[in-house]
């Protein structure tokens, strides 16, 4: 009896072991199928993603920390409609309405666009339609009137936003591409465009001239009660001769010094600039009148309300009839 029971128990145990083994094999098969399914799904996603999510003809915006190589220095930019010669220096802001970094650079770009008395002209170039491009610029508060449509790859622009500086021949002088701008890059751009410098403001002021006084009128101005006489010639000419009691503030230092050294913006000021070599050189280069009228504009920009230009050499004013005291001699001038 015991033997029969033992055999029955043995058979039952073998059945259970077989069932457990079958269950384990089933579990392994399910796990294998799961792995195969997961791998297949990943392959399908990568295949479809490469075709539809990241198509080859849609560039991915660069990381802001990445420095991209722009158009080669000296390359002539193929931009129809841009008058590089008339502009002198052209600042090209290449952007896209879909660019995620446009808002990041907008404040600095705005400084470039809205700077006063600049020697450059800003143009915007976008691949989008003009209406869409102008609306995009308005949304960034960038008041750029010259907007052009062009394929950016034709300009060798591989990332946006991009800022390119070109000369009067349309040749690239410098460029900054892609992502945000670091502080060193901003300083480099500011130096290139002379943002906030006396020379840059002077370049704009030089574009405005005022009608000259006659010699007798100029002498009368210099004798006016309370008049402050500012000689804007360079120191080497001032030291040789100048109107008595005049102050020497060279033209390229007016924006930096005038507000600190002159008593008040409502004080009467006579700006003296004679016919000197540096005046004639700058006047000839820029086809303008002379440094005295340029200084007039500079003082007006600073808020001085009573400014008169005196466009004569001190030696011209030495005449006894004019009663103007001149210190020094023009010999060797």
Kindly report, residue by residue over 229-263, the tens digit of the pLDDT.
999 888 988 888 888 889 999 888 888 888 889 98
Q: What is the pLDDT of residue 183?
A: 77
Q: Comparing C-alpha atoms, which of 237, 221, 234 is closest to residue 324? A: 221
> Hey, which residues does 27 pair with through a beta bridge?
none
Q: What is the pLDDT of residue 219?
A: 85
Residue 168 has pLDDT above 80, yes or no: yes
Residue 289 has pLDDT above 90, yes or no: no
Lowest average pLDDT, out of 155-164, 187-196, 268-277, 281-290, goes to 281-290
Q: Summarize the confidence of residues 79-87 as an average pLDDT.
A: 87
Q: What is the pLDDT of residue 209?
A: 42
Q: Summarize the confidence of residues 37-41 as an average pLDDT.
A: 57
Question: Considering the chain, what percentage of its residues have pLDDT values greater than 70?
Answer: 65
Kindly report, residue by residue over 310-333, the tens digit of the pLDDT.
877 787 877 656 667 777 765 543
Kindly report, residue by residue over 124-136, the tens digit of the pLDDT.
999 999 999 999 9
- List the domain boundaries for the chain: 1-58, 84-196, 215-328
| CB burial readout 262-276, b (16+ within 10 A) else e | beeeeebbbbbbbeb
User: CATH number of 84-196: 3.40.30.10, 3.30.200.20, 3.40.50.300, 3.40.50.1820?
Assistant: 3.40.30.10
Fold adopted by 215-328: Oxidized Rhodanese; domain 1 (3.40.250)
Lowest average pLDDT, out of 151-155, 192-196, 197-201, 212-216, goes to 197-201
């Amino acid at each position: 009896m015991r033997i029969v029971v033992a055999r029955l128990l043995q058979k039952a145990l073998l059945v259970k072991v077989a069932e457990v083994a079958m269950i384990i094999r089933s579990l392994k098969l399910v796990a294998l199928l799961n792995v195969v399914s997961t791998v297949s799904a990943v392959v399908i996603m990568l295949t479809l993603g490469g075709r539809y999510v990241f198509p080859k003809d849609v560039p991915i915006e660069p990381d802001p920390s990445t420095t991209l190589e722009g158009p080669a220095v000296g390359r002539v930019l193929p931009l129809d409609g841009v008058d590089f010669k008339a502009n002198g220096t052209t600042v090209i802001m290449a952007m896209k309405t879909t660019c995620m970094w446009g808002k990041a650079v907008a404040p600095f770009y705005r400084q470039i666009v809205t700077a006063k008395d600049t020697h450059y002209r800003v143009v915007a170039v976008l691949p989008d339609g003009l209406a869409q491009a102008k609306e995009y610029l308005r949304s960034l508060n960038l008041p750029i009137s010259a907007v052009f449509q062009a394929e950016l790859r034709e300009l060798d622009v591989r990332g946006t936003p991009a800022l390119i500086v070109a000369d009067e021949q349309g040749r690239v002088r410098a460029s900054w591409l892609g992502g945000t701008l670091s502080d060193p890059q901003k300083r480099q751009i500011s130096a290139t465009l002379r943002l906030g410098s006396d020379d840059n403001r002077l370049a704009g002021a030089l574009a405005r001239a005022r009608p000259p006084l006659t010699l007798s009128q100029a002498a009368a101005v210099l004798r006016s009660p309370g008049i402050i006489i500012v000689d804007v010639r360079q120191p080497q000419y001032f030291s040789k001769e100048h109107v008595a009691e005049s102050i020497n503030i060279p033209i390229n230092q007016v924006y930096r010094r005038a507000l600190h050294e002159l008593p008040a913006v409502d004080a009467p000021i006579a700006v003296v600039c004679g016919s000197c070599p540096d005046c004639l050189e700058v006047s000839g280069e820029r086809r303008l009148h002379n440094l005295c009228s340029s200084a007039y504009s500079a003082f007006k920009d600073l808020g001085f309300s009573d400014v008169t230009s005196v466009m004569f050499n001190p030696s011209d004013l030495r005449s006894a009839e004019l009663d103007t005291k001149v210190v020094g001699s023009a010999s060797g001038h």
